[in-house]
Structure 1
Amino acid sequence: MAADRSGRPARRRSAFTPPRHVRLRDGEGKPVTAGAATAGSSSEPHRDDGERLQKVLARAGLGSRRACEALISGGRVRVDGEIVQEQGVRVDPAAQVIHVDGRRLQLDTSKLTLVLNKPRAVVSAMSDPEGRRDLSEFTAGHPQRLYHVGRLDYETEGLLLLTNDGELAHRLTHPSFEVAKTYVCRFDAPGGPPRGLVKTLREGVQLEDGPARADRARVLAQDGREAVVEVTLHEGRNRIVRRMFASQGFELTALMRTRIGPVLLGDLPSGTTRELTGRELGTLMAEVGL
């Protein structure tokens, strides 16, 4: 197994890429068909006292006004769930919901969502009564009051979202939206992992609080001493990945989350943050019905 300069086994990046097509959901987590309006849609998106739609799109970074006019005329823009193809439409970006190619535009500049590569031995909390490292050190440079979306246990590292968008955080953690999460799991496996392990994880294992099943699982690496397996699942029960492997007799020596929905950890260094791109945030919001 390859090693980095420090002598530690090199980490493998996830082979997954952000989806080309957005999985739209309504406010209850139910799939929305391509032609359906989103919840709370209005029959008349035009606002006389609003801004021109192409100007709003250009300010959101979707290209020149001419390019944004082409997006509108091509039927790729929705305002409050309604396709808008007229160039003279005016909108209120503070009050109306705008999607382009199914992706939500976040036009509220007070909202901030970050990706953190959480190191090991950090508590997923903003403070810790035992004095252990917590998440506050990674949010200190931002004036917004940020909160973590979900948790990673003390010894697990990788992708954790920090946001001040309460509705986004609620939906990402609500089980009805079934947001997929991908993990890279390392464990001792003398002679290699059993042939049936990946199949067993996909078919499901029995835990003390009920069955658990990986949506996808595959072996990334093995060298006869240890193995690395990537699993994707949409459940968020406490320590579920570790417990799934333990049920098959394997104790994980390292666990890293590499993906939440369309958001990838990529090469973000441990202990650092980055702001979500507009594409990532828009896809993520659309996936949870926003």
Structure 2
Amino acid sequence: MNTPARRDGTPEQDPGKTPADLYVSNARPARRQHVPDRKPPESGASGQPSKGGKKDSGQGDKSVRLQKVLAAAGVASRRMSEKLIEAGRVDVNGQTVTQQGIRVDPDQDVIRVDGTRVIVDENLVTYALNKPRGFQSTMSDDMGRPCIGDLVGERVAAGQRLFHVGRLDAATEGLLLVTNDGELANRLMHPRYEVSKTYLATVLGEADRRLIHQLKNGIDLDDGIARADYVQIIDVWQGKSLIKLEIHEGRKHIVRRMLKEAGFPVQALVRTKVHTVQLGEQKPGTLRALNRSELTSLYNAVQL
């Protein structure tokens, strides 16, 4: 039986659970989830890290109260962070912390909430940009043409050193990741990790299953065989077709070249998805920050 809802639409609280038990962390995941834990903080007689385990020694001491670090990382407010600690949902260097007041070094200590390491460097950001058609995939353009730098200029002016992950040619629109996380960007572009990208292509010609087999079996291009991981014919009308195509390669103009070689030249091309990050209903020219699940999925895909 489902838990009954209250008048405000929220479920009635289980008598055996506290607010901290029901709270879902809003923290962004750290890039490196699977790292060796450092030595646990010194424990008192109770087996718990003692409040004085890391005393504030003045100059050079970077230690901060744990609840403050959790609040800064976006996990919860300081008060709710204290409840999460009390509920045993927070680990520091592999040891569950339930006492209040412990001090940690955000630059060194490994902090996890519900088993997920949280990001404490708020300077790292990753956005999804819907690149409009006609924009160059550059942060600036010597010829004065529209470029993605024009779309993220306010954030760059505010001090964020952003760069794009890969490229879309000027005639192609859709999802482009923008970040200041160099390690994430490099791995997403590296062929070793085979990060998939999904496209919708409007082509000339009425496609049938022969095109699906041709694209999946491989198209012989001048720089080698290119294969699609997934192909679907969405629609066929008046001498044109709408094709959904998923590929993990990153060669220049790879989708356009494959379809042209197969006899179906591209009239319009939109990238709709990178791994599990989807464009959805995002309007052209807009930017949105990736959520926790999207970031976790990207980090896992490139083994960070």
Q: Same fold (TM over 0.5)?
A: yes
| 1:171 alignment partner in structure 2 | 187
Deviations 1:200-259 (A, max 9, x none): 222222211111111212122222432111111111111111111112011111111111
Which residue of structure 2 aligns with residue 264 of structure 1? 278
**157, 168, 171: which one pairs with 2:173?**
157
Asked if the contact 2:130–2:174 (Cα under 8 Å) also holds between the matched residues in 1, the reply is yes
Aligned to 2:269: 255
Query: How do 1:46-125 residues align onto structure 2 when only pairs under 5 Å count?
Result: 46=41, 48-49=53-54, 56-57=69-70, 60-62=73-75, 64-65=80-81, 66=83, 72=89, 84-88=95-99, 91-96=104-109, 105-125=118-138
Aligned to 1:213: 227
Q: 1:102 Cα shift?
A: 7.5
Name the residue aligned to 2:149.
136
Taking the aligned partners of 1:131 and 1:41, their CA distance within structure 2 comes to: 48
Q: Which residue is 1:17 aligned to?
A: none
Partner deviation per Cα, 1:161-218 (whole Å, 9 max, x = no partner): 11111111111111112211111111122xx312221122222222111111112121
Do the aligned residues in 2 keep the contact of 1:156 with 1:256 (CA within 8 Å)?
yes
2 CA distance for matches of 1:71 and 1:246? Answer: 58
Change (3 A) 1:58 1:279: farther
In the alignment, structure 1 residue 235 sits paired with structure 2 residue 249: yes
| Structure 2 Cα separation of the partners of residues 153 and 216 of structure 1 | 22
Q: Which has the higher contact order (CA 8 A, sep 6+)?
A: 1
Name the larger-Rg structure: 2
SS of structure 2 residue aligned to 1:141: helix
- Normalising by structure 1, what TM-score? 0.73
- 2:139 counterpart of 1:126: yes
How many angstroms apart in 1 are the aligned matches of 2:137 and 2:235?
29
Superposed CA deviations along residues 143-168 of structure 1, whole A, max 9, x for unmatched, are 11211111001100001111111111
Could you tell me how far apart the structure 1 residues matched to 2:272 and 2:88 are? 33
CA contact 2:88–2:98 (8 Å) conserved in 1: no
Alignment counterpart, residue 201 of structure 1, candidates 201, 215, 224? 215
What percentage of aligned pairs have identical amino acids? 43
3-state SS in 1 of match to 2:185 = helix
Corresponding position: 1:187 with 2:203: yes
Gaps in structure 2 of 5+ consecutive residues: 1-30, 43-52, 55-62
Read off the aligned partner of 1:106 and give its amino acid letter. I
Match of 1:44 among 39, 44, 49: 39
Distance 1:240 1:194 in 2: 21
Aligned mates of 1:261, 1:71 — CA distance in 2: 33
1:42 Cα offset (Å): 2.9
Superposition TM-score, scaled by structure 2 size: 0.70
Q: Secondary structure at the match of 1:171?
A: helix
Aligned twin of 1:20: none
DSSP-derived class of the 1:151 partner: coil
In angstroms, what is the RMSD of aligned CA positions? 2.9
Partner of 2:287: 273
